[in-house]
Structure 1
Amino acid sequence: MKEIYLTTPLKKLPQLKIYFSLILISLTTLISCKKTTVEASNIAAFSVVNASPSFATYDVYLNDGKLNSAALPFGGSIKYGQYTAGTQNIKFTTAGRAESLLTKSVSLTPNIYQTFYLIDRPGSLDGLLVTDDVSANSTDKAFVRFINLAPDAPALDLTVTNGISLVTNKAYKAASSFTTIAAGTYSFDLKDGTGAVKTTLSDAVLTAGKYYTIISRGLINPANSLEHSLSIQVILHQ
């Protein structure tokens, strides 16, 4: 069966289910189109973030279809798109080149939001696929989680500067669940197990009803000027 990739970003899962129902009704009346239309129940939402700590930029392909319109830099992201669920191959190349630097199989789950994070140094690139549960709503709270993506960092805590601890003791590649926080503007610290602040991000604006992943990125001990130092990034899921 020929696959069709849908690139309009998904909104919320309840709306997606309505969308699936409408597609299924259409399929029952357009039998002749079955061979060229992907069943709605086989749609997944997928996004990509470059957290590799170098100054390199990348092109990203899913089953040989290019996902990015411009080279993906450190901290760059690709918004959710709709793709056929199942096992897919994701490939990263140096921007403007065809040779693969990393090719991995990813399992995209129907009706589910997922994000693939490019991680580690260029000589040992890897990826982390994380499920994004964005099904809840709030009129006064934002949703945040933390993922430690700094390759040489110890387990880290995410805290509000001079305030509460949001997530504790996350080792490299470990992700927390989403938790709620009052909408507003924040300063965040990353701390090691001794309580020492390793880096701080100020003026992070969190909007009610939105989902954010906060990541540690870069390196505590960069090898040279071509590698980024440890920092915090706030990623809006959209």
Structure 2
Amino acid sequence: MMMFTLKKFKCYSFFALSVLIGLTACKKQETVDSTLSNFRVINAAPTLGTYNVYLNGSVLNSAALPFAGSTAYLAQNAASYSLKFTYENTAESLLTKTITLSSSTYQSFYLINKPGNLDILAVTDDLAVPSTDKAYVRLINLSPDAPAFDLAKTSATTSITTNKTFKTASGFIAVDPGTFTLDLKETSTGILKAISESTTFLAGYHYDVIAGGLVNPANDTERTLSVQVLQIK
């Protein structure tokens, strides 16, 4: 009887472990706890500065965020919080703002604009995967002095998304997975303004395509316009 009970316990334990592994392997869009919010922070300020990020006084990053650097998603109770940015080696606040984390959502908070005019842009992330054989791409224009932009695969005759002005983002758009570059074009003229590095886009994953930097940088501490691709994690 003891042997039977032990075997049964092991069987139940294996089943419970299998369920746990299955749950932890779920994709990010499957938010289980409706009281929690999931958020990340991205540095899109068009300078050479690197930043530390604090939520209610607790640092979020393990290393200072460079341009286009991002934290991983962090789970937090839905509520309002203070989000603070400092330079890497100082504690003085460059920007402190109240943000609201909404329950059962994924949110991205982008640091934008130049020092002295820094701000935060909040965007809700729809991480649904309607088709598991597609990758998902979102263009977000975070260049303060830029015109509206279109995004297309290099040499493609049609655009992935069009007419994104400063501080606007497209939804996530399904594209065929593969390794390719992306062209950023001025909406009004069709002139090519920047090209991304060659990136491998994987099926089932979401990607931020950030138009960042400045069309007309004032000095060598400001970044020129570029296209940055971030796999969302």
- Cα distance in 2 for residues equivalent to 1:213 and 1:226: 24
- Cα distance in 2 for residues equivalent to 1:142 and 1:13: 15
Identity of aligned residues (%): 49
**Post-superposition shift, 1:160?**
1.2
Paired residues, number: 208
**Post-superposition shift, 1:140?**
1.5
Normalising by structure 2, report the TM-score.
0.85
Supply the RMSD in Å over aligned alpha carbons.
1.6
**Contact map agreement 1:10 1:82 (CA 8 A) in 2:** no
Are 1:191 and 2:185 matched, yes or no?
yes
Are 1:13 and 2:5 matched, yes or no?
no
Residue 206 (structure 2) aligned to one of 205, 211, 224: 211
Gaps of 5+ in 2: 1-23
**Post-superposition shift, 1:50?**
0.3
2:107 is matched with 114
Q: Closer, same or farther in 2 for the Cα pair 1:9/1:222, shift >3 Å?
A: farther
- Cα distance in 2 for residues equivalent to 1:70 and 1:45: 20
Residue 71 (structure 1) aligned to one of 64, 80, 85: 64
**Post-superposition shift, 1:141?**
0.5
**Contact map agreement 2:196 2:229 (CA 8 A) in 1:** no
- Cα distance in 2 for residues equivalent to 1:52 and 1:161: 26
**Post-superposition shift, 1:13?**
3.3
Normalising by structure 1, report the TM-score.
0.84
Residue 135 (structure 2) aligned to one of 135, 142, 160: 142
Are 1:175 and 2:173 matched, yes or no?
no
1:131 is matched with 124
Residue 228 (structure 1) aligned to one of 214, 218, 223: 223
Partner deviation per Cα, 1:150-176 (whole Å, 9 max, x = no partner): 111001111111102011111100011
**Contact map agreement 2:151 2:160 (CA 8 A) in 1:** yes
- Cα distance in 2 for residues equivalent to 1:10 and 1:226: 42
**Contact map agreement 2:150 2:184 (CA 8 A) in 1:** yes
Q: Closer, same or farther in 2 for the Cα pair 1:56/1:210, shift >3 Å?
A: same
